[in-house]
């Protein structure tokens, strides 16, 4: 049975709204089989992410599921879809999977009211939607469904999306958000962590630091659990939210990357109906025409697809916030960057699976470019940049050769990814 729930909750920084969908098939007899499945579960039963996830919430409605719609999604450089709005019957899900396979997309699809043993499957299927923003009272039943899906569909993801950290204690079951996420991991044992957090970008309300705090919880918890994390970010005006600029979209994406996200998802692709979204303004309007966000997403996603193979090989080792008033050398202590021209930055530090170090340098501003002088923790000739245009490793280009040191440019919200040799212990 599918139930759509609407939740509204309030903080000092305004009203936040969200759609919640709980799609746990009823009538499935699990009994003790969940425990037995866990005891005998082979490693192949677990989902393994094979590409960087670029997706969205709210796929096109059923009457728009044509060849052109899926070609349009692929042309915007998405890598997967969450398809539990546009396909909610078994036949519609099977058709959705066929179109995704044809256009090189993966899909997390609706369970369509089916028990695990009857779920549609195929090469394009990453997994199945179980729940959006469940409270802790649902964790036990979700664990049974996760185990049942692993037993019936080995290697497929049982997908659950969590509340953001600004949800009330009554929804989280605790005043400690870290404990909420840790409890979910202990009790549900997911293969991917996922959450939605939509920062406000207004002159008198700046939600960026809060967004990063939420990402930091997910970074730490995903590392502890040894699983990737994904997150939704805001793409449209609703409630107190302004319509994001391209720089604000870019900032949300690269802040997620700096924290080690292995997937980012737009809210929303198709503009949902209802009184929560009277302004419209998602990537596509309700009539199927494109907003400016389609071309913006296409550009952002192209860079993500090129960076993705490298991002999938990185493990986060730390995040450093550098503010204008900070001594950059102190703020960057222990990172792969020794110094930067003073300014507003977010620095993600990583270890590549081949042993090299990596660093993502992001301009924290959403309205101004930066042109920093950078000193890496390695010889300048040994540093390589992963090109967002090709995905290849290239020598770092000095954009101001007449100035002392190495200069790079960063557009508003932009991040750039660099690789350097493995650190040698003295």
pLDDT mean over 287-291: 95
What was the pLDDT predicted at 41?
56
What was the pLDDT predicted at 196?
98
108: which strand partners?
82, 127
The least confident of 130-139, 187-196, 273-282 is: 273-282
Looking at the domain 3-312, which fold is it?
Answer: TIM Barrel (3.20.20)
Q: Out of 25-34, 373-382, 407-416, give the one with best mean pLDDT.
A: 407-416
The DSSP secondary structure of 82-134, one letter per residue, reads E-TTT--SHHHHHHHHHHHHHTT-EEEE--TT--GGG----TTEEEEEEEES-
What was the pLDDT predicted at 42?
61
9-39 residue pLDDT tens: 333 333 233 333 333 333 333 333 333 444 4
Residue of 423, 407, 410 whose CA lies nearest to 349: 423
Asked if 280 contacts 293 with a C-beta cutoff of 8 angstroms, the reply is no
Asked if 173 contacts 136 with a C-beta cutoff of 8 angstroms, the reply is yes
99-141 residue pLDDT tens: 999 999 999 999 999 999 999 999 999 999 999 999 999 999 9
Longest dimension (CA), the chain: 72
Euclidean distance between CA atoms 159 and 110, whole angstroms: 10
Phi, psi of 48 (to 5 degrees): -125, 120
Within the chain, which residue ranges are assigned CATH 3.20.20.80?
3-312
The least confident of 18-22, 326-330, 345-349, 418-422 is: 18-22
In this prediction the pTM is 0.91
Which residues have C-beta within 8 Å of that of residue 203, sequence separation ≥ 6? none
CATH number of 315-420: 2.60.40
112: which strand partners?
none
Quickly state the pLDDT bin for 415 (edges 50, 70, 90). Answer: very high
pLDDT at 417 over 80: yes
Euclidean distance between CA atoms 140 and 184, whole angstroms: 10
What was the pLDDT predicted at 63?
75
Within the chain, which residue ranges are assigned CATH 2.60.40?
315-420
């Amino acid at each position: 049975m599918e139930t759509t729930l609407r939740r509204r909750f309030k903080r000092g920084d305004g009203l936040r709204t969200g759609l919640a969908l709980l799609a746990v098939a009823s009538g499935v007899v699990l009994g003790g089989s969940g425990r037995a499945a866990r005891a005998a579960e082979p490693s192949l039963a677990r989902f393994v992410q094979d590409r960087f996830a670029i997706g969205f919430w709210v796929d096109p409605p059923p009457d728009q599921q044509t060849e052109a719609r899926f070609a349009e999604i692929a042309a915007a450089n998405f890598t997967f879809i969450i398809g539990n709005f546009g396909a909610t019957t078994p036949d519609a899900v099977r058709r959705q999977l066929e179109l995704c396979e044809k256009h090189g997309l993966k899909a997390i699809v609706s369970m369509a009211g089916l028990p695990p043993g009857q779920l549609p499957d195929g090469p394009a299927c990453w997994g199945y939607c179980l729940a959006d923003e469940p409270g802790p009272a649902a964790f036990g039943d979700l664990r049974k469904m996760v185990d049942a899906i692993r037993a019936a569909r080995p290697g497929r993801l049982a997908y659950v999306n969590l509340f953001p950290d600004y949800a009330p204690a009554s929804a989280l079951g605790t005043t400690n958000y870290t404990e909420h996420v840790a409890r979910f991991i202990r009790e549900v044992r997911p293969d991917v962590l996922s959450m939605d957090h939509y920062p406000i970008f207004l002159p008198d309300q700046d939600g960026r630091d809060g967004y990063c705090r939420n990402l930091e919880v997910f970074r730490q918890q995903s590392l502890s659990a040894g699983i990737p994390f994904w997150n939704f970010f805001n793409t449209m005006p609703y409630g107190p939210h302004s319509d994001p600029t391209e720089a604000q979209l870019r900032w949300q994406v690269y802040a997620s990357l700096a924290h080690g996200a292995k997937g980012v998802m737009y809210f929303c692709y198709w503009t949902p109906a209802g009184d929560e979204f009277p302004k419209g303004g998602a990537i596509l309007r309700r009539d199927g025409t494109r907003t400016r966000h389609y071309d913006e997403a296409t550009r952002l996603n192209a860079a993500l697809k090129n960076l993705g193979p490298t991002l999938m090989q990185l493990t986060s080792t730390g995040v450093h916030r550098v503010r204008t008033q900070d001594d950059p050398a102190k703020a960057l202590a222990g990172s792969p960057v020794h110094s930067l021209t003073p300014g507003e930055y977010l620095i993600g530090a990583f270890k590549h699976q081949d042993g090299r170090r990596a660093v993502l340098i992001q301009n924290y501003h959403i309205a101004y470019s930066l042109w920093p002088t950078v000193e890496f923790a390695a010889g300048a000739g040994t540093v390589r940049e992963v090109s967002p245009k090709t995905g290849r490793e290239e020598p770092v280009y000095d954009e101001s050769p007449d100035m002392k040191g190495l200069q790079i440019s960063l557009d508003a919200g932009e991040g750039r990814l660099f690789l350097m040799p493995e650190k040698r212990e003295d």
